[in-house]
Amino acid sequence: MTSTNGGQSGAETGAQPQQTPPQLNVMGQYIKDFSFENPNAPRSLAPNQTQPAINIQINVGVGQSAPTDYEVTLKLEGKAESAGLMLFAFDLTFAGMFRIQNVPAEHLHALVMIECPRLLFPFAREIIATAVRNGGFAPLLLDPVDFVALYQQRLAAEQANAASPTTTA
């Protein structure tokens, strides 16, 4: 059997002290802005045999308020229509304050754009489901969101914009 350090223990070879592990703490979460519209009630509440068309947009934003503190906003906009009639619409900006420490700089952007929204999403989903139910409809249970895919799409779009030459006429 061979030894790679000459049989010495880590203390004898001057091994580096253990680094502090990465930390992600949720400092708080809150509704920053919220709107629910049911513009055609009570007509929109009548029984309907066709499923409404539901369109939902999700965006993530990040702002830094201190060297280790980030406000991450999850913006969800949606509306449901049936036979050309808007049934309901919502616009929610749900945010959280996160303290991130001991994370390498090359991993920080992905962390705030993937993990932080992933932690916020279940709470935003519940707010929307409750508002839609309170608006007289069956609760709208949003499907889970793949924030990794959203992040990759955003990076690809940014790279495509950076690669395309800007021309002026």
34 vs 83 pLDDT, higher one: 34
* pTM for this entry: 0.80
Q: Tokens 């409750």 belong to which residue?
A: 130
The predicted-structure confidence for 84-114, as pLDDT tens digits, reads as follows 889 999 999 999 999 999 999 999 999 999 9
Q: Which sequence spans correspond to the domains of the chain?
A: 23-152
Q: Does domain 23-152 have CATH number 3.40.50.300?
A: no
**Environment class of 125 (CB within 10 Å of its CB; exposed 0-12, middle 13-18, buried 19+):** buried
Q: pLDDT band for position 157 (50/70/90)?
A: confident
Q: Is the pLDDT of residue 119 over 90?
A: yes
Closest CA to 40 of 107, 137, 138, 118: 137
At position 41, the amino acid (one-letter code) is A
Q: pLDDT band for position 116 (50/70/90)?
A: very high
